[in-house]
């Protein structure tokens, strides 16, 4: 099917032709401290903000998100299931990238983070659920997650499956019950729920996992898009929806988020290959490095970085509020610092 060809499934990302492409860029050759872009498309951003402190911004948000998450998953009967849910969802080593992306996109368009916190927590819940299921022996068979024993190793496969199953609907319920109605209209809440449902469903992350298990090597682009691009795309889009962004802005956030999500994973694979840590790459997983080699993966990463930044250039009228989103792109490519436990 054409769906699985290298260039077709990235409908909007226009990745380079991996068979006939110029020499790769020097990805990761210089560590950028998450600075704002030097593009002339950002004339409203003063030079005084040229070194945005992404680490402080991110870690401060993580503290707030962790508190909200703790409150959103209280232990109740049956206690063991809730303990298993909290074990992964409240993991202090988590980067909280989906909720941070959601809150940042919401604030870009003038929304208050109070409006975004319930959806941000829900995104982390569905992210945690996907990781729990992803690690199962019948899936990727990983014993370790974020430096700790995987959920099924601690609680057993049966409890891990139930914990993941419980986190998905809890996320939706949390959005409905905790989003402040005086700030966010019901129509926006419904759009957010529909967006998350599409992302985690059979045309989104589930499709990516299916092909990671069953698809051939030529499905790697579709796998990367669905397993790693979808949630970042959803996170950015949900933030925009909550703040009332228009349809054109939503589509730009969609393309931006997808590019950043895939970029992060491609660079992860590149770093593992450079460190000769092949054992860390999932046994069944398919990546650009494993399929096309290191140089081609670098080309893909550079192209994704450029495309993500290009989508943000149209938000110049929002001034300094767009700086964190630019910085996420640089972080995904350069990893100038560590986030999470």
Q: Using alpha carbons, select from 224, 238, 252 the residue that is nearest to residue 196.
A: 238
Query: Which pLDDT band, with edges at 50, 70 and 90, does 286 fall under?
Result: confident
**DSSP secondary structure code for residue 184 in this structure:** S
Q: Mean pLDDT, to the nearest integer, of 232-241?
A: 98
Mean pLDDT lowest among 128-132, 222-226, 273-277, 289-293: 273-277
This prediction's pTM: 0.84
Q: Which residue has the tokens 């941070």?
A: 100
CB under 8 Å to 77, separation ≥6 — which residues? Answer: none
Contact 75, 86 (CB under 8 A): yes
Predicted confidence (pLDDT) at residue 50 exceeds the cutoff of 70: no
Q: Which residue has the tokens 């990727």?
A: 140
Render 233-281 in DSSP notation, one character per residue.
HHHHHHHHHHHT--HHHHHHHHHHHHHHHHHHHHHHHHHHHHTT-GGGS
Contact 111, 103 (CB under 8 A): no
Tell which wins on pLDDT, 42 or 176.
176
What does the pLDDT look like over 153-186, one tens digit per residue?
999 999 999 999 999 999 999 999 999 999 999 9
Q: Mean pLDDT, to the nearest integer, of 289-316?
A: 93
Query: Which pLDDT band, with edges at 50, 70 and 90, does 273 fall under?
Result: confident
Predicted confidence (pLDDT) at residue 47 exceeds the cutoff of 60: no
Q: Which residue has the tokens 């872009």?
A: 37
Using CA atoms, how far apart are residues 148 and 168, in angstroms rounded to an integer?
Answer: 22
Tell me what the pLDDT averaged over the chain comes to: 85
Query: Which pLDDT band, with edges at 50, 70 and 90, does 337 fall under?
Result: confident
Query: Which pLDDT band, with edges at 50, 70 and 90, does 134 fall under?
Result: very high
Tell which wins on pLDDT, 308 or 25.
308
Q: Mean pLDDT, to the nearest integer, of 204-216?
A: 87
CB under 8 Å to 71, separation ≥6 — which residues? Answer: none
Q: Using alpha carbons, select from 103, 94, 101 the residue that is nearest to residue 130.
A: 94
Contact 297, 270 (CB under 8 A): yes
- Helices 230-243 & 247-274, crossing angle to 10 degrees? 150
Contact 238, 196 (CB under 8 A): yes
Q: Mean pLDDT, to the nearest integer, of 17-24?
A: 40
Q: In this predicted structure, what is the pLDDT of residue 335?
A: 85
- Helices 230-243 & 113-134, crossing angle to 10 degrees? 160
Question: Phi and psi dihedrals of 41, rounded to 5?
Answer: -75, 0
Render 284-325 in DSSP notation, one character per residue.
S---HHHHH-HHHHHHHHHHHHHHHHHHHHTTGGGGGGGHHH
Q: In this predicted structure, what is the pLDDT of residue 59?
A: 93
Length of the chain measured in residues: 341
Q: Which residue has the tokens 């870009």?
A: 108
Element (H, E) at 145: strand 144-145
């Amino acid at each position: 099917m054409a769906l699985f060809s290298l260039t077709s499934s990235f409908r909007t990302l226009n990745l380079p032709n991996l068979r006939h492409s110029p020499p790769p860029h020097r990805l990761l050759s210089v560590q950028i401290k998450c600075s704002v872009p030097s593009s002339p498309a950002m004339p409203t951003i003063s030079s005084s903000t040229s070194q945005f402190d992404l680490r402080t911004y991110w870690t401060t948000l993580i503290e707030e998100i962790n508190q909200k998450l703790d409150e959103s998953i209280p232990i109740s009967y049956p206690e063991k299931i809730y303990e298993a849910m909290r074990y992964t969802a409240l993991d202090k080593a988590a980067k909280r990238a989906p909720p941070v992306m959601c809150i940042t996109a919401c604030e870009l368009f003038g929304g208050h983070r109070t409006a975004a916190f319930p959806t941000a927590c829900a995104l982390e819940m569905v992210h945690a659920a996907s990781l729990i299921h992803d690690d199962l022996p019948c899936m990727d068979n990983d014993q370790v997650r974020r430096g700790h024993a995987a959920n099924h190793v601690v609680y057993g496969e049966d409890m891990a499956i139930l914990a993941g199953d419980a986190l998905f609907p809890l996320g939706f319920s949390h959005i409905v019950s905790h989003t402040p109605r005086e700030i966010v209209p019901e129509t926006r809440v419904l759009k957010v729920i529909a967006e998350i449902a599409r992302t985690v469903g059979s045309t989104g992350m589930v499709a990516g996992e299916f092909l990671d298990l069953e698809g051939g090597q030529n499905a790697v682009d579709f796998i990367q898009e669905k397993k790693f691009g979808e949630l970042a795309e959803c996170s950015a889009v949900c933030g925009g929806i909550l703040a009332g962004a228009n349809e054109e802005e939503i589509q730009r956030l969609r393309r931006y988020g997808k590019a950043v999500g895939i970029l992060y994973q491609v660079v992860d694979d590149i770093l593992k290959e450079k460190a000769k840590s092949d054992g860390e790459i999932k046994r069944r997983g398919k990546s650009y490095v494993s399929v096309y080699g290191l140089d081609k993966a670098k080309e893909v990463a550079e192209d994704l970085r450029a495309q993500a930044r290009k989508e943000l250039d149209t938000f110049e009228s929002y001034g300094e509020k767009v700086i964190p989103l630019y910085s996420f792109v640089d972080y995904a490519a350069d990893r100038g610092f560590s986030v999470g436990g």
